[in-house]
Structure 1
Amino acid sequence: MSQLKILAISGSLREGSYNTALVRAAQKFAPGDLDIESYEGLRDIPPYDTDHDVDPAPVAVADLRRRIIEADGLFIATPEYNYGVPGVLKNALDWASRPALNSSLTGKPIAIAGAAPTNFGTVRAQLALRQSFLWTDSKVVGKPELCIFRANERFDESGNLTDETTIEILHQLLATLGQKIRETRAIANGTV
């Protein structure tokens, strides 16, 4: 089985972010056929502005778009702010979604997860992301869902994911992403 390249994006800029820790956990607990690379450029992406969405795109934007195109799939770990997606993550995805009919996100297989210290985790933020990906016709993994609630109980002080049930669901989510990538390729190649 060939190695699949996954670009993982944490929607948080915070140093001790549970979602950045979730990206590290994805790298550690992923199935062996997935190579997960962490995207570190979220802070560098300027606010979306149609006047600046020209060729060439801003350097950080061009880098994000290129890395999404080169990846076989995306893993997004999102916090939830005010019942929604953090502005920096939404901004990056707005840039990545352009040009509208031929963006780096068009048809891209994506797995969404999130962690929060609250009792509801990131349910609403994940729902908002799923809605955004309808427009880009991205191929979002439906199940399993991974909404890590009370994240402070599932990660240790060093940011390591320690909860066995959560680790298993994360592994299943990533395995399903790999399966969705292969299915999407087979459909595109007409081999199904």
Structure 2
Amino acid sequence: MSKIAVLVGSLRAGSLTRKLAERLTELAPDGMEFSFVEIGDLPFFNEDLDTDTPPAAWTRLREAIKAADGVLFVTPEYNRSVPAAIKNALDVGSRPYGASAWAGKPAGIVTASPSGIGGFGANHHLRQPLVFLNMPTMQQPEAYIGNLWGMFDEDGKIVTEGTEDFLKSWMAAYAKWVADHI
């Protein structure tokens, strides 16, 4: 059983990105166990706070990532990049220096946007720090989910034709990616 930490870049209650992340976990093949790691309560990284008793939220994040076999990032695009909450989580988890929780964790990235380009900028900006953090990141298939506002019905079911099949195949590829890298 592969343990996958899921980080969602949108902190909003009722987030469509979170709905997408939840649906992704439901479409995953057998053999994967998911835990959503909350990042909205993380104090911004400040090395002065990284003492023998760092903020409890930092410790929780670091332990959750260390316990995972892989990490799935599901994020919207804000201003052609990733939300600050995702970048902050990466910074917090990468410290203390030399003890990064991220190192070696196979990563998958799904970005989403109400526009047609599906978070292309966020997807590629996120890849940059993941390379530095030594996270093997799945390259293909890529997942840019556009037109997010019209994707779900009132019950959270995906209604856009072909999207659910694509997401299911993406999750199968990610499961293989994780298995090949743990």
| 1:6 partner SS | strand
* Whole-angstrom distance in 2 between the partners of 1:142 and 1:134: 12
The one-letter code of the counterpart of 1:13 is L
Q: If the length of structure 2 is used for normalisation, what is the TM-score?
A: 0.93
**TM score, norm. by length of structure 1:** 0.88
Summarize deviations over 1:131-164 as a string: whole Å, max 9, x none.
Answer: 1101111011111111111112222234332335
Confirm or deny that 1:151 pairs with 2:145.
no
The sequence identity of aligned pairs, in percent, is 34
- Partner SS state of residue 173, structure 1: helix
Amino acid at match of 1:147: Y
1:129 maps to: 126
Once the 2 structures are TM-superposed, how far is the Cα of residue 5 of structure 1 from its aligned partner?
Answer: 1.0
Secondary structure at the residue paired with 1:114?
strand
Bigger shift: residues 163-172 or 60-69: 163-172
Conserved 8 A contact 1:26-1:36: no
- Count how many residue pairs are aligned between Structure 1 and Structure 2: 182
Pick aligned residue for 2:24 from 23, 26, 30: 26
The 1:54–1:118 alpha-carbon spacing in structure 2 relative to 1, beyond 3 Å, is same
Separation (CA, whole Å) in 1 of partners of 2:178 and 2:155: 32
Ranges in structure 1 where 5+ consecutive residues have no aligned partner: 186-192
User: RMSD across aligned C-alpha pairs, in angstroms?
Assistant: 1.5
23-32 vs 158-167, greater mean Cα deviation = 158-167
Gap runs ≥5 in structure 2: none
Q: Match of 1:178?
A: 175
Counterpart-to-counterpart distance in 2, 1:5 and 1:116: 27
User: Residues 23 and 38 of structure 1 are in contact (CA less than 8 Å); yes or no, is this contact kept in structure 2?
Assistant: no
Contact preservation (8 Å) 1:100, 1:136:
no
